Amino acid sequence: MSEHKIEMVLNGHSHRGAAEGRRTLCDYLRQDAGCTGVHVGCEHGVCGACTVRVDGQAVRSCLMLAVQADGCTVTTVEGLAAADGTLHPVQQAMQDEFALQCGFCTPGVVITLATLTDVPEKPSEAALLAAMSGHICRCTGYQGIRRAIRRLAGEATGERA
């Protein structure tokens, strides 16, 4: 197997490494770059847990090879909170709205919602819900995630209780 050099900006820092051509981006990020917040749930692109941001796009790191990220800017869930520990608005909304239980799917959900909301014009609730339909959460029944989405879309939460 051939080894390929990889350079990327990973969570704001320059990163250099090497990987075999067949190594997936998720395995590279977890095992070679130490970003264990990237969670691997299905390895076939359905569950969304492994979602990371590559050059501004939310991508499934289980369906991308590490070598394809050469030269890219990559953000994982570890790279979202501010240096002083202040949570990203998506993380804060999810904590406030009890949007997680076991937390395994959470990194992917956070990256997708952060990628869509880190723009000057807030996306609609419908757009965020449509994006969320590509993530599977087995614990929460999506109640808190939907409330967080309503907040992030700039609308009142739908919490009835």
Question: How far apart, in whole angstroms, are the C-alpha atoms of residue 60 and residue 57?
Answer: 10
- Taking CB under 8 A as the criterion, the residue among 6, 8, 25, 49 binding another protein is 49
Q: How many CB atoms lie within 10 A of CB 32?
A: 15
Question: How far apart, in whole angstroms, are the C-alpha atoms of residue 143 and residue 42?
Answer: 23
Q: Within positions 53 to 112, which residues make up the interface with another protein, using CB under 8 A? A: 76-78, 80-81, 87, 91, 94-96, 98, 100-107, 110
37 binds another protein (CB under 8 A): yes
Size of the site for another protein (CB under 8 A): 56
Q: What's the closest the beta carbon of residue 14 comes to another protein, in angstroms? A: 20
Question: How far apart, in whole angstroms, are the C-alpha atoms of residue 153 and residue 20?
Answer: 41
Question: How far apart, in whole angstroms, are the C-alpha atoms of residue 81 and residue 140?
Answer: 23
Q: What's the closest the beta carbon of residue 134 comes to another protein, in angstroms? A: 8
Residue 123's φ and ψ, nearest 5 degrees, are: -75, 160
Beta strands 3-10 and 73-75: pairing type?
A: parallel
Q: What's the closest the beta carbon of residue 43 comes to another protein, in angstroms? A: 6
The residues that touch another protein, with contacts defined as CB under 8 A, are 20, 22-23, 30, 35-44, 46-47, 49, 76-78, 80-81, 87, 91, 94-96, 98, 100-107, 110, 129, 132-146, 158, 160-161
